[in-house]
Amino acid sequence: MQTLSQSPLDPDFVQNPYPFYDRVRQGAPLVQWPEYGFHVTARAAIVGAALRDRRLGREAPPEHAVEVPKHLEPFYAIERHSMLELEAPTHTRLRKLVTKAFTPRRIAGMEDEIATLCHRLVDELPEGGCDLLEHFAKPLPVIVIARLLGVPEKDADKLLAWSNAMVQMYQARRDISLEEDAARASAEFAEYLGDLIETRRKAPGDDLISELIAVEEEGVHLSRDELISTVILLLNAGHEATVHQIGNSVKTLVEQTVAPHWLEPERIDGTVEELLRFDPPLHLFTRWLYEDMEFQGQMLRKGERIGLLLAGANRDPSAWDDPSAFDPSRPVRINFSFGAGAHFCIGAPLARLELKLALPILMERLQGLDLPRRPYYADLYHFHGLEKLETTYTKR
C-alpha cells in the first residue's frame, strides 16, 4: 500500500494543492493519506466510479457511529437530517421532495433578478478598487439564496455569519473554539428558521420555504427537523461554494488575461465549465464502504472510508489534454466540481446561472480590472478559496 504524506495545513499546499494531487494520481489507484487516515484517489475514472457506486455512500455505517460530544449536539441535530449525510431510502425521499420545489423553472425565473442584483452590487462598489470578495462575491449568492428561500434580505448578514461558522466543521484547521462557534451558530440558525417556517405555515408565500412545507411524496411531507436541515443545507451549499468560485474565477480570468469574447453569451457556458474544472472550491469528498469489495484492484473492507480528490480528478491528463492549462476553448465534458451520482449537487443549476451572469457583468463594467497584489488562498482545506481579492478598476 503506497502512502503519501501531506499536511493539509502546510502553507505551500494551501496555496497550490495540485502538485500533491499529481503525486497521488501517479501513484497507486488508491493511496493512503496518513494525515486523514484513509485512502484517496485523484484519478478521474476512479472518482467517477466511486461517486456512482451504491456500495459506497456518505452515511456512516451504524458500527462507526460515534457518540456526539455534548458541545456539538446542536450541530449534529441538523446534520442527522441533512440530505448530504444520508443514503437511500431516506436520502431518496428527501431529494424527491426537495426537487419538487427546487425546480429548474424556478431557478431560471431568477435570471433577470440576479442580473439586476449584480449591477446593483457593481454600482455600490467603491471607486477605483476594493476587495471584490467582500463587496461582491460574498453578498451576491447569499442574497440570491435568501430571496429564493423567502428569507428577509435584511437578515442576509446573519445567515452569512451562521453559515461561515458552521462550515468550519469541515476544515482541517478545526479546533474546539471553531466547534463551539459552529454549535452556537447551528442553534441560532435552527431557532431562526423554526420561527420562519411556522410563519410560512400560517401565511405561505411565493418562496421555496413555503413550497418545501407544501410538497409531499406518497402522502408524506418533510418533518420540521428535515425542513430546517434542508433549508440550512441549501443556504450553506448555495452560497459558500459560490463565493469561493466567483473569487477563484475572477482571479483566473485576470491572471490568464482571458479575452472578452470568451464571456459573450454564445461562449459563456463553456467558459464557466472550464473555470469550474480549473480551480473549484470543493476539493475533497469522502465515501464510506458498505460491504467488503474489490475496488480498482484493491481489497477494501466494510466500514473503511475513501477520499475522492475532486479537484485532482479535474486535472487528470487521461481525461483532459494539458489539464494544468486554463483553456476556455476546450470541448465541454463532465467535471467533478459538483460531484456525481445520487449526491450530485442539487444547487448546481443555480451556481452555474450566478456565474454566467456575474462574470460578464463584472468584466464589462470594471474596466481594466487588475490585481495589484497576488491573491492568497485562505487556510480552509478541504475548501479552496481566497482570503481576499484586492482589485483595481475604473467603473462604467
Q: What DSSP designation does 376 have? A: -
pLDDT band at residue 239, thresholds of 50, 70 and 90? confident
| Mean pLDDT score, 143-150 | 92
Mean pLDDT of 6-34: 97
pLDDT above 90 (res 219): no
Amino acid at 270: G
Domain architecture of the chain: domains with CATH: 11-395 (1.10.630.10)
Q: Grid coordinates 428569507 are at which residue?
A: 151
Q: Is residue 196 within 8 Å of 207, Cβ to Cβ?
A: no
Q: In this predicted model, what pLDDT tens digit does every residue of 263-274 receive, in sequence order? A: 999 999 999 999
For the entire predicted model, the pTM comes to 0.95
Strands 56-57 and 284-289: antiparallel
Smallest CA-to-CA distance from 228 within 166, 286, 180 is with 166
pLDDT at 72 over 80: yes
Written as one string, the DSSP assignment of 248-283 is HHHHHHHHTT--GGGGSTTTHHHHHHHHHHHS-SB-
CA 315 distance to own-chain centroid: 18
Segment 350-363, tens digit of pLDDT: 999 999 999 999 99
* Burial (CB count within 10 angstroms: exposed 0-12, middle 13-18, buried 19+), residue 62: exposed
List, for residues 188-206, the tens digit of each pLDDT value: 999 999 999 999 999 999 9
pLDDT at 375: 97
In this structure, of 112-121, 167-176, 296-305, the range with the lowest mean pLDDT score is 296-305
Rounded to an integer, the average pLDDT of 331-353 is 93
